[in-house]
């Protein structure tokens, strides 16, 4: 996984280098202030346009990229890159404004009015406003107050912003020597988006004919959804992976959400276990048997392929038990090689408990419930507590899944307990 991440990151940086090179061959050296501003505007504009393409590529759901890098890491790269693309867009606009004002000798207010009179510049300004709106909804304080459906709807504006920016770039002087490169890059990214976000889901829906078979109550606010279909072996879905699920029932069909498999694929059956954390996930418990299902994937890299050591520790928090339960059953190992720590606020919050205990008994694997409120004085996931439960902790691979705060704190505790960072495998899903 690390090699795949290095290759993808290297490809992105290499592409940025090509963009800088294309800018450099067009530069006409000049010490005039207006020329310096214009040159800076061209560079920031090219990099901003390339950055938007990278953002779209990272979210194109290309299986080789998602499996190799990990969906959570791609999401972090997307968020990190989005902030820098916005800065480049604003920088491009500011440099262009200053360069035009210095060149014409006009004041800034008049310059803004004149520039917005050009359709391509007005389109770019509109695209920047749309990107700023997307960026604002990604701020943590704003995001916590929004539903997933609203957040996702605003994020779809990125496609319109990219189209407006592309029109501006082709109309401007930035691409005089590289229009072919820009058109090719946009065509490739557009083709990936259409293929993996539109064609593949439809093709999978027709091939697998998924339908809800059963909705089973598992605990307070938690249900398991059993889905049946055809040719499921072709999905090659591994324990620890997730699919993006869209249920074609009123109130549910507009949104697709990622849910991990809570059991291995068995014949014609898939199963997910969902906790009602938002409006959409709460409505899932009202699913009716026979409802058609669109499932895209599988995605994610939290699989047995990441294992490097004979012994494995699985740590789950809350509904993060779902991928851990599938791995607990399927990871190869003899007695004592696999241990599961399950963190929950209280005993009644334990999900799939009977299944976990049956697996532990059959495999002679370790199973420990770590109960109590998260704010309690005693932290069962502190370094000393982990070392007491798992004496040879540093010799384990650790798979970790839980709420973002819990996962981050536990990763820090594992590092302090001596587990190398390369042996801590985690994926965290939040929007």
pLDDT of 173: 54
Q: Give the residue from 257, 203, 201, 199 showing the smallest Cα distance to 225.
A: 257
Residue 322: strand pairing partners: none
Spatial separation of the C-alpha atoms in residues 135 and 209, rounded to whole Å: 37
Residue ranges per structural domain of the chain? 2-201, 209-299, 304-426
Phi, psi of 27 (to 5 degrees): -70, 135
CA-CA distances (angstroms) from residue 214 to 159, 285, 307?
37, 10, 33
Give me the half-sphere count of Cα atoms (radius 13 Å) on the Cβ side of residue 257. 26
pTM of the model: 0.74
pLDDT of 251: 74
Averaged pLDDT in 10-residue chunks for the chain of 431 residues: 78 88 78 80 86 87 79 80 87 82 76 74 80 77 70 76 73 58 83 88 87 87 89 89 87 79 91 73 79 86 85 88 91 89 86 91 90 74 85 88 84 87 76 48
- Cβ atoms of 366 and 315 within 8 Å: the answer is no
Q: Give the residue from 395, 5, 425 showing the smallest Cα distance to 240.
A: 425
Which fold is adopted by the domain 209-299? Elongation Factor Tu (Ef-tu); domain 3 (2.40.30)
> In 3-state terms, what secondary structure has residue 338?
strand
Strands 242-247 and 292-299, sheet pairing? antiparallel
The class that CATH gives domain 304-426 is alpha beta
């Amino acid at each position: 996984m690390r090699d795949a991440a290095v290759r993808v990151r290297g490809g992105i940086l290499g592409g940025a280098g090509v963009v800088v090179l294309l800018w450099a061959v067009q530069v006409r050296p000049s010490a005039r202030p207006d020329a310096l501003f214009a040159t800076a505007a061209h560079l920031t504009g090219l990099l901003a346009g390339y950055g938007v393409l990278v953002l779209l590529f990272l979210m194109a759901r290309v299986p080789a990229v998602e499996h190799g890098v990990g969906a959570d890491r791609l999401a972090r790269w997307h968020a990190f890159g989005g902030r820098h693309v916005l800065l480049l867009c604003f920088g491009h606009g500011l440099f262009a404004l200053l360069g035009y004002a210095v060149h014409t000798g006009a004041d800034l207010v008049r310059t803004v009015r004149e520039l917005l009179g050009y359709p391509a510049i007005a389109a770019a300004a509109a695209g920047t406003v749309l990107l700023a709106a997307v960026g604002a909804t990604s701020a943590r304080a704003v995001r916590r107050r929004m539903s997933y459906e609203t957040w996702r709807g605003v994020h779809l504006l990125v496609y319109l912003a990219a189209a407006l920016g592309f029109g501006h770039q082709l109309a401007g002087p930035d691409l005089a020597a590289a229009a072919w490169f820009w058109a090719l890059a946009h065509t490739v990214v557009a083709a990936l988006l259409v293929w993996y976000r539109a064609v593949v889901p439809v093709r999978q829906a027709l091939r697998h004919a998924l339908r809800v078979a059963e909705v089973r109550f598992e605990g307070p606010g938690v249900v398991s959804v059993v889905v049946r279909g055809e040719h499921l072996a072709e999905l090659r879905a591994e324990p620890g992976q997730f699919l993006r699920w869209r249920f074609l029932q009123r109130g549910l069909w507009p949104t697709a959400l990622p849910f991990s498999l809570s059991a291995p694929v068995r014949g014609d059956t898939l199963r997910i276990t969902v906790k009602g954390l938002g409006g959409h996930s709460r409505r899932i418990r009202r699913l009716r048997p026979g409802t058609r299902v669109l499932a895209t994937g599988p995605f994610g890299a939290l699989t047995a392929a990441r294992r490097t050591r004979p012994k494995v520790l699985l740590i789950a928090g809350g509904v993060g038990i779902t991928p851990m339960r599938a791995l607990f059953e399927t990871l190869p190992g003899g007695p004592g090689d696999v241990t599961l720590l399950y963190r929950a606020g209280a005993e009644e919050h334990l999900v799939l408990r009977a299944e976990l205990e049956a697996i532990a008994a059959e495999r002679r694997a370790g199973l420990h419930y770590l109960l109590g409120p998260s704010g309690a004085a005693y932290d069962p996931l502190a370094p000393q507590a982990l070392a007491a439960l798992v004496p040879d902790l540093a010799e384990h691979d650790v798979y970790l899944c839980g709420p973002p705060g819990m996962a981050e704190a536990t990763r820090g505790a594992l590092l302090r307990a001596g587990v190398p960072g390369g042996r801590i495998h985690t994926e965290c899903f939040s929007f």
